[in-house]
Amino acid sequence: MPTPQDQTSVRRLVTGALTGLSTLPFTYPLELVRVRMAIDTQVTHERATPARAMRHIWHEGITPGRPPSSLLIAFPGLHFYRGFAVSALGTVPYRGGIFLVWETLNAAIRAQLDDRTFDKNRGRIHLVVGAVAGATAQIVTYPLEVIRRVQQASGTKSPTRTIGFIETSGSVWQQRGWRGFYTGMGIGLVKQVPMHSLSLASWQAAKVALNID
């Protein structure tokens, strides 16, 4: 986007979404392993390791001497992508939303301040804008994150099939109503807000230090 006129809201959203989606297929299995390690620790009360969690995920639903009864069992690698579709769906508004809010607020602030004032307060401005961007994206997409976590954990109870989006949503609603879709959001904000505030501000500081436009 060579000029400010080219930096439309849609392009900002799409750019951020594509950035997140490009890495998701490679990082998602590690995310699932992390979730399952936490579950294994609660169930077995033993120290969970990545290798043990990966073995459990790979062998879910497999009975020695019996032919595969489902696609998941026939292709065990698919176990590592439980909840992937929901995660990809959430990545679009989450990553795209962060980039959209970040760029929009920065552009608005630049329009209100002269270059000297902006440069003098650049670090503080970026910390605040990064915090707002992270909080906004987290709040908007958190219900999808809850559904994703439930699907990731479903292998322990339903190893031979994938729990669908509608089934998962219905299960969350039956247990706790609409509040169930925001369970744990407070601690999520405690993590995400400072993380995005610092990471985005550091990114901009590095660009200034390296003289990258």
Section 88-116 average pLDDT:
88
Give the span between the Cα atoms of 49 and 30, in whole angstroms. Answer: 12
CA distances from 42 to 36, 110, 144 (A): 10, 49, 23
Q: What is the pLDDT of residue 46?
A: 66
pLDDT in tens, 162-196: 778 888 899 899 988 989 999 889 988 998 889 99
Section 124-131 average pLDDT:
94
Average pLDDT value over all residues in the chain: 83
Sequence-separated (6 or more) residues with CB below 8 Å from residue 211? none
pLDDT-wise least confident of 48-62, 124-138, 141-155: 48-62
Give the span between the Cα atoms of 191 and 36, in whole angstroms. Answer: 20
Chain center to CA of 170: 22
Local confidence band at 42 (pLDDT 50, 70, 90 cut-offs):
low
Residue 75 has pLDDT above 70, yes or no: yes
The domain ranges of the chain are: 4-209
Higher-confidence residue of 98 and 16: namely: 98
Section 120-130 average pLDDT:
93
pLDDT-wise least confident of 59-63, 98-102, 201-205: 59-63
- b vs e for 108-145, b when ≥16 Cβ sit within 10 Å of the residue's Cβ? ebeeeeeeeeeeeeeeebbbebbbbbbbbbbeebbbbb
Q: What is the pLDDT of residue 126?
A: 94
CATH superfamily, with its number, for domain 4-209: Mitochondrial carrier domain (1.50.40.10)
Give the span between the Cα atoms of 189 and 196, in whole angstroms. Answer: 10
Tokens of 16: 């951020």
Residue 209 has pLDDT above 90, yes or no: no
Q: What is the pLDDT of residue 124?
A: 93
